[in-house]
Amino acid sequence: MTAEQLGYDKMAQTYADLIPDTFGSPLEQAAVDAFASEARGSDLGSTIVDVGCGIGHVAAYLTDTGFTVLAVDPSTGMREQAELAHPDLEFSADDASLSTVDLSAVAGVVARYSLIHVPPIGVREALADWASRLPSGACVLLAGQSSDEPGVAEFDHAVAPAWRWHPDSIAEAVTDAGFTELWRTVSRPAEGFHRFPEFHLCAKRLR
């Protein structure tokens, strides 16, 4: 069952007003582009899943580069904003479990700043489940707030309970689930918007 997202439902309009740009930095865009190249090179077709797609910026970006994007989010409010901004795309109710999505013909799964809202044990379970259902060669891109301390710790996110992972710890979770890490980035907070380091991690399902 899709988890309720009352925090994001209430904030969705504000979120859309405050975050008009698809990417917060050139690095974010480069990470999505590198993931997209990897997915394209897998020869698994052109279907990408965007988990916790929010207001649909990245789903729209990937659609514009030729992918068919299955965009899912548990928040009704965020999906409504996504539909307003991108009436040509479809946004469905689902969460990190991806219980409504057939992953058997999917080339890649992107989860930007959405698995942060899943408790650590749930992240591990979701990753293992995705790995068991994705075809060999499919890739995943995860992004989230990070930490310089080992392990994973809850932090005071403004909208919903959230956890930030040390890059080695999220890499270990991804590897334990059955993926092979391809690359990762760690960026440091610039003045203003970001409080924490952030990671992007790309990994591939190889059987």
Ligand X SMILES: C[S@@+](CC[C@H](N)C(=O)[O-])C[C@H]1O[C@@H](n2cnc3c(N)ncnc32)[C@H](O)[C@@H]1O
Left (φ > 0), alpha (ψ -120 to 50) or beta: where does 161 sit? beta
Within residues 9-38, the interface with ligand X by CB under 6 A covers none
Per-residue 3-state assignment (H helix, E strand, C coil) for 1-48: CCCCCHHHHHHHHHHHHHCCCCCCCHHHHHHHHHHHHHHHHCCCCCEE
Report the residue from 48, 52, 69, 101 that binds ligand X according to the rule CB under 6 A: 52
Report the residue from 31, 58, 170, 171 that binds ligand X according to the rule CB under 6 A: 58
Report the residue from 75, 81, 147, 187 that binds ligand X according to the rule CB under 6 A: 75
Question: Per-residue x/- mask for ligand X, residues 117 to 156, rule CB under 6 A?
Answer: xx--------------------------------------
Instruction: Supply the minimum distance, in Å, between the C-beta of residue 159 and ligand X.
Output: 7
Question: Per-residue x/- mask for ligand X, residues 77 to 106, rule CB under 6 A?
Answer: -x----------------xx----------
Question: Which tokens is 114 given?
Answer: 């959405």
Closer to ligand X by CB, 137 or 177: give it: 177
Report the residue from 63, 114, 146, 187 that binds ligand X according to the rule CB under 6 A: 114
Cα–Cα distance, 132 to 140 (Å, whole number): 13
Does 5 help bind ligand X (rule: CB under 6 A)?
yes
Q: How many residues bind ligand X (CB under 6 A)?
A: 20
Cα–Cα distance, 1 to 34 (Å, whole number): 32
Closer to ligand X by CB, 3 or 84: give it: 3
Q: Looking at this protein, which amino acid is placed at residue 94?
A: D
Does 113 help bind ligand X (rule: CB under 6 A)?
yes
Cα–Cα distance, 164 to 147 (Å, whole number): 6
Q: Where does the chain show beta strands of DSSP type E?
A: 47-51, 68-72, 91-92, 108-112, 139-145, 152-155, 162-165, 179-187, 198-205
Residues that bind ligand X (CB under 6 A): 3, 5, 8, 51-54, 57-58, 73-75, 78, 95-96, 112-114, 117-118
